[in-house]
A and B are shown apart, each in its own frame.
Chain A
Amino acid sequence: MGARMIAVGVALCVACQEPERQMPPAKLAGGRVVDLIPLSLSGESWQDAEPFLALYASNPKLMAASAFTPNPGGSASATAPIFVSDDGGDSWTLRNTLPSQSMTADITHAVGGNPPMLYAGILKVPDFPLNELKANDFLSPATMTLQGFRVDIDQPFVRTSAVGNADRVYVGLNDFDAPDGRTATVDVSLDGGTTYASRRIETRNTAGQNGPSIRPAVAQDHTIYVAYFGWRSNAGADVTSDVVVVRDDSGAMGATPFRDLVDPSDHLPGRLVATGVTIPWSNAPTLGQERIGSTLAIAVDALHSDNVYLAWADRVGTGDIYTVHVRRSSDRGATWSSDLRTLTNATDASLAVSTNGTAGLLYQQVTGSASTSRWVTRLEQSRDGFATHQDVVLATVPATTPAFQFLPYIGDYNCLLTRGNQFLGIFSANNTPDSANFPQGVVYQRRVDFPTHRLLDGSGAPVAVSIDPFFFSVPVLP
């Protein structure tokens, strides 16, 4: 916590790391925050939690996003929506293209090649089977095509890479039908999602299963890292877990992939980055109305696959509820730093590494207490492994309102990506139109009245405050 702050760029604020800071955060030049709810859904008051984002490298104008946003047509609707933008995130439309009844129970997605393909992994409503989906043109209003399907799956997490004309798709997931309780799995497709092979990545004994978060990250040289929680035992609500990283050096093309990184302690695949950590598994409002227990993220430097960053959350036991840790490896996961960042009472950590090697860390942290507590969403950037970093507050909103409608409150995860000289991401937060809540500024598409801090429907009537997804972009440190 003693990291020295650096000032970068014109009007860059030096934001204090301490959660109880009193100085209002200032605006960073070039930062942008956009509420995704479109004008024509101004009456919306749903809890649009757990947002996700996909970017097209071939066309920076195109983006896809999702959240637990229902089809406006209601609960009987046969399809669920995604958001799309064709102007670089300045505006978004909602399109009902997912084959799930009104909403999904989990969704992530990533892009493929041209035409602008989109791959998605969802838990479909009803009954919650995994659907691995593809859209040949994500701007098309056509329903996405089903490519893979099975039951007893949790938290599909989609990543892609392009090789020639065939996209490779990697879906990290917790497969409860995997043998021997080694449930951490990556569904690998080397043919654009036409066929998938389920690759088991856990090689050690578990407490009957792995944790739900199985997170792949892909570099341009086709090195793939996957992070997961190796649950070893549980007592009550606390799970004792290892934090494990596996690696494959050739795009997971072999019959037994993800075995290129071995731990020196037992010579088994999967480097044990941390062992015996305590994961507080709480499926009830625990941290600012949010549940906790599955925060995990990994990012690789796409151009230099030796460099990889890892973030997870556990309970340290020093009075914390939930603490995010960030570590780095510069030798392909063989050795890892100690904590570069230790963030108390934080969750939803997401990582990305820009083309110039700058690491980005998005997280959401509860500050203050009781009725004055706030969810603070921050993006930190560092060029030196977080010895120093730039801290940008994207949002600081009340943590006690609105009351949760369901869990997750803001998400079991959010999303940070990078393209060119920008970090781009998405988070969910209280949508009160109050400029003080959004230090980088904020643009609403939906109808609002800033002077009175009110949301308005199409007729001008007040709308209750709720949770909305917010897209953001922040310039990468030069």
Chain B
Amino acid sequence: MHIRSAMLLAVALSFPGAAVAQMSRAALVKQSDIIFIGTVTQVGAVAVPEVPPSERTVVVRVDQVIEKPAPVALTAGDSVTVEAARAGSLKAGIQATFYTTGWIFGRGVAVREVGHEPGQSPVVAADAREAVARARALVNDADLKAHIQRAAMVVAGRVAQVRPAELAAAPTRPRRITEHDPDWQEAIIQVEDGIKGAQAGEQVVVRFPGSSDVAWVGTPKFAVGEEGTFLLHKDSTTGSPLTMIAGRSVPAYTALHKVDVLSKQDATRVRALIKKP
């Protein structure tokens, strides 16, 4: 398996233009949300009437789906319309791993090519799947490392208290009533493991939107007793960067990205990424 993987990695990646010729597989994966092994069946054609045919569109028969969002209905045997990154780059009959993003969703799926990777012929599905999974792990680690580097503080701990945030209103900006009001709350986190910028035993205050409004869907919410590893950023969102705890004025933090709230077990991974050059 290792030899196969090494061979696969050694294969020259086929990219649509010189500007992207140096892209790594990880870079392809990072830009893609639908990845599949497929065989080009028609050039200058489309698989569904919703997409206008052009010299850049090809029809690809899906041989194996490697990654796709859960809502997308895509299985082996489906025909997908692919808009090639460059006209003429995809010839009928070639089999490749296609890195793509969703374009038009109707009776069928149309995607835009980010890149494609011709492997052995036929492509060994298990190898491609493993290679993509490894690339995805690299991408996820790189994203998380970037988040860690941007964070002012990284702690593992437990939410000891949740309270409404009392924000100092700017004198020229009265509080507005809107359905998108974030309804800022404060979670007081008891630090059990100070991974970056904090020490065990400290308490830190994290602001989060308590609102159920659509504008804040997907933003982490906190509950008393919740444990986790938290990537905390100095509050530059509410306009009120300080808060009070035990009678002291202290900086307030936020954790508004889904990556900012990880499981407690992820502390080990976070530490490893911090040490990783």
Q: Is the CB of B73 within 8 A of A458?
A: yes
B214 at the interface (CB under 8 A from A): yes
Given contacts A41-B73, A72-B71, A457-B73, contact A408 B107 (CB under 8 A): no
Residue of A nearest to B213 (CB): A407
Tell me whether chain A's interface is mostly helix, strand or loop, or mixed.
loop
A35 at the interface (CB under 8 A from B): no
Q: Is the CB of A38 within 8 A of B106?
A: yes
A345 at the interface (CB under 8 A from B): no
Residues of B within 8 A of A447 (CB): 73
Report the minimum CB–CB distance from A240 to chain B (whole Å): 13
Distance between Cα atoms of A442 and B75 in the complex (Å) = 26
Q: Is the CB of A458 within 8 A of B75?
A: yes
Q: Which of A73, A283, A412, A459 contacts B33 (CB 8 A)?
A: A73
Given contacts A123-B215, A291-B179, contact A71 B106 (CB under 8 A): no
Q: Is the CB of B180 within 8 A of A105?
A: yes
Q: Is the CB of A39 within 8 A of B73?
A: yes
Q: Is the CB of A406 within 8 A of B212?
A: yes
Q: Is the CB of A45 within 8 A of B71?
A: yes
Residues of B within 8 A of A91 (CB): 106-107
Q: Is the CB of A40 within 8 A of B74?
A: yes
B134 at the interface (CB under 8 A from A): no
Q: Is the CB of A209 within 8 A of B177?
A: yes
Residues of B within 8 A of A75 (CB): 218, 258
Distance between Cα atoms of A458 and B65 in the complex (Å) = 12
Residue of B nearest to A406 (CB): B217
Distance between Cα atoms of A458 and B179 in the complex (Å) = 36
Q: Which of B73, B106, B218 contacts A93 (CB 8 A)?
A: B106
Distance between Cα atoms of A39 and B108 in the complex (Å) = 7
Q: Is the CB of B75 within 8 A of A93?
A: no
Q: Which of A128, A284, A294 contacts B212 (CB 8 A)?
A: A284
Q: Is the CB of B176 within 8 A of A73?
A: no
A174 at the interface (CB under 8 A from B): yes
A141 at the interface (CB under 8 A from B): yes
Q: Is the CB of B258 within 8 A of A209?
A: no
Q: How many residues of B contact A (CB 8 A)?
A: 36
Q: Is the CB of A94 within 8 A of B181?
A: no
Q: Which of A93, A293, A445 contacts B104 (CB 8 A)?
A: A93
B174 at the interface (CB under 8 A from A): yes
Distance between Cα atoms of A176 and B178 in the complex (Å) = 10
Given contacts A128-B180, A294-B179, A407-B213, contact A71 B102 (CB under 8 A): yes
Q: Is the CB of A40 within 8 A of B106?
A: yes
A404 at the interface (CB under 8 A from B): yes
Distance between Cα atoms of A380 and B70 in the complex (Å) = 38
Residue of B nearest to A284 (CB): B212
Distance between Cα atoms of A319 and B246 in the complex (Å) = 45
Q: Is the CB of B107 within 8 A of A39?
A: yes
Report the minimum CB–CB distance from B220 to chain A (whole Å): 12
Q: Is the CB of B104 within 8 A of A72?
A: no
Given contacts A39-B106, A39-B107, A283-B181, contact A74 B72 (CB under 8 A): no
Report the minimum CB–CB distance from A281 to chain B (whole Å): 7
Q: Is the CB of B177 within 8 A of A234?
A: yes
Q: Is the CB of B178 within 8 A of A212?
A: yes
Distance between Cα atoms of A8 and B213 in the complex (Å) = 42
Given contacts A43-B70, A44-B71, A459-B75, contact A93 B105 (CB under 8 A): yes
Distance between Cα atoms of A77 and B218 in the complex (Å) = 14
Q: Is the CB of A408 within 8 A of B109?
A: no
Q: Is the CB of A43 within 8 A of B177?
A: no
Q: Which of A74, A209, A407 contacts B176 (CB 8 A)?
A: A209
Distance between Cα atoms of A74 and B30 in the complex (Å) = 12
Residues of B within 8 A of A43 (CB): 70-73
Residue-wise, chain B 237-272 has the 8 Å CB interface mask toward A (1 for contact) of 000000000000000000000100000000000000
Most chain A CB within 10 A, of B71, B218, B258, is at: B71
Report the minimum CB–CB distance from A237 to chain B (whole Å): 10
B101 at the interface (CB under 8 A from A): yes
A246 at the interface (CB under 8 A from B): no
Q: Is the CB of A125 within 8 A of B181?
A: no
Q: Is the CB of A40 within 8 A of B214?
A: no
Most chain A CB within 10 A, of B69, B101, B108, B179, is at: B179
Identify which of residues 163-196 in chain B touch chain A, using a CB-to-CB cut-off of 8 Å: 174, 176-181, 183
Distance between Cα atoms of A125 and B104 in the complex (Å) = 21
Q: Is the CB of B104 within 8 A of A141?
A: yes
Residues of A within 8 A of B74 (CB): 40, 458
Identify which of residues 58-113 in chain B touch chain A, using a CB-to-CB cut-off of 8 Å: 69-75, 101-109
Q: Is the CB of A105 within 8 A of B72?
A: no
Q: Is the CB of B211 within 8 A of A283?
A: yes
A248 at the interface (CB under 8 A from B): no
Residues of B within 8 A of A407 (CB): 179, 212-214
Distance between Cα atoms of A219 and B218 in the complex (Å) = 41
Report the minimum CB–CB distance from A182 to chain B (whole Å): 13
The 5 nearest A-B residue pairs measured at CB: A458-B73, A93-B106, A44-B71, A73-B33, A105-B215
- 11 CB-based A-B contacts, threshold 8 Å: A39-B108, A41-B105, A71-B102, A73-B34, A75-B258, A77-B33, A128-B215, A405-B217, A457-B73, A458-B72, A459-B73
Chain B contact residues, CB within 8 Å of chain A:
33-34, 50, 69-75, 101-109, 174, 176-181, 183, 211-218, 258
Chain A contact residues, CB within 8 Å of chain B:
38-46, 49-50, 68, 71-75, 77, 86, 91-96, 103, 105-106, 123, 125, 128, 141, 152, 154, 174, 176, 181, 208-209, 212, 234, 239, 281, 283-285, 291, 293-294, 404-408, 412, 445, 447, 457-459
